[in-house]
C-alpha cells in the first residue's frame, strides 16, 4: 500500500473497476483536487487522489451499496448537517472500537465519538442504515478504509483480522471486484 505515489497497475485496475467510459470527463481534474486539499489542509492518499483527479469523482458502478460519493459529498442520511467536519484533524482511532459494547459513557467517550465521525476522513459512500465507508486522510491511519456505523468503527484490511483483503483504497476495491464478502476472515 503506497499512499504517496500512484501505482500504474493499481490505476489501471481502478479504471477497469470503475467502468468509466467518459474519458475522465467526470473527474474534476488536478486543479480542483488541489483546491479541495488546500481548503481542507490535507493531501488525499493515493491512489484515491489520482482516481478523483483523472478517472471519476463518484460512481454508482462501484462499492459501497449505494455507489461512491464525490470527494466533498456526505450520504443523504448523514444526520446533523450543522456539525462541522474538520478533515485536517487526526482521526482518533487506530483499532476497532465498538461503542455500543463500551461501558464508558463519559463525556470523553462522547467527544471521541464525535471525532470519529468528523475528523480526518472523507466518506466514500454508504451501505445504508448508517453504515458508511470512510477513507482516512490523516495520520496514523492515513490511507486506510474504515466502516463506521451507528454501533462502532472497524478498519478494513487483513492485518486487522476481519477480512483477507489488502488494506487501503485499492485493496478495498480489489476485494469488491473479486466479489468477496467485506468481512470474510474466519
Comparing C-alpha atoms, which of 113, 136, 110 is closest to residue 123?
136
Taking the C-alpha atoms of residue 4 and residue 91, their distance in angstroms, rounded to an integer, is 18
In the chain the beta strands, taken as DSSP E runs, fall at 121-126, 132-136, 145-148, 153-156
Q: Indicate the range of 24-33, 95-104, 145-154, 176-185 predicted with least confidence.
A: 95-104
Predicted pLDDT of residue 142? 97
Average pLDDT over residues 43-54: 96
Q: Indicate the range of 63-67, 75-79, 173-177 predicted with least confidence.
A: 75-79
Ranges of each domain in the chain: 8-75+83-177
Taking the C-alpha atoms of residue 33 and residue 185, their distance in angstroms, rounded to an integer, is 35
Predicted pLDDT of residue 81? 56
Taking the C-alpha atoms of residue 45 and residue 5, their distance in angstroms, rounded to an integer, is 8
Average pLDDT over residues 125-148: 94
| Phi, psi at 132, each rounded to 5° | -115, 140
Predicted pLDDT of residue 99? 87
pLDDT, one tens digit per residue, over 145-172 is 999 999 999 999 999 988 999 999 999 9
Q: Who wins on pLDDT, 185 or 111?
A: 111
pLDDT, one tens digit per residue, over 100-131 is 887 766 668 889 999 999 999 999 999 888 89
Predicted pLDDT of residue 1? 82
Cell 464525490 found at: 70
Asked whether the CA dihedral 86, 130, 169, 72 is positive or negative, the reply is: negative
> What share of the chain has pLDDT > 70, as a percent?
92
Mean pLDDT, rounded, of the chain = 89
Amino acid at each position: 500500500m503506497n499512499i504517496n505515489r500512484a501505482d500504474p497497475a493499481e490505476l489501471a485496475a481502478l479504471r477497469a473497476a470503475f467502468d468509466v467510459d467518459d474519458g475522465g470527463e467526470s473527474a474534476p481534474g488536478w486543479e480542483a483536487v488541489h483546491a479541495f486539499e488546500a481548503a481542507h489542509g490535507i493531501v488525499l492518499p493515493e491512489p484515491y487522489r489520482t482516481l478523483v483527479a483523472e478517472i471519476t469523482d463518484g460512481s454508482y458502478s462501484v462499492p459501497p451499496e449505494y455507489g461512491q460519493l464525490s470527494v466533498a459529498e456526505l450520504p443523504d442520511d448523514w444526520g446533523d448537517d450543522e456539525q462541522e467536519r474538520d478533515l485536517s484533524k487526526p482521526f482518533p482511532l487506530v483499532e476497532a472500537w465498538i461503542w455500543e459494547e463500551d461501558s464508558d459513557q463519559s463525556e470523553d467517550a462522547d467527544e471521541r465519538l464525535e471525532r470519529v465521525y468528523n475528523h480526518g476522513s472523507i466518506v466514500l459512500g454508504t451501505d445504508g442504515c448508517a453504515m458508511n465507508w470512510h477513507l482516512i486522510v490523516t495520520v496514523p491511519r492515513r490511507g486506510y478504509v474504515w466502516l463506521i456505523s451507528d454501533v462502532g468503527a472497524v478498519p478494513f484490511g487483513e492485518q486487522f483480522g476481519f477480512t483477507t483483503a489488502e488494506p487501503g483504497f485499492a485493496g478495498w476495491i480489489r476485494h469488491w471486484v473479486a466479489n468477496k464478502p467485506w468481512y470474510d476472515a474466519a
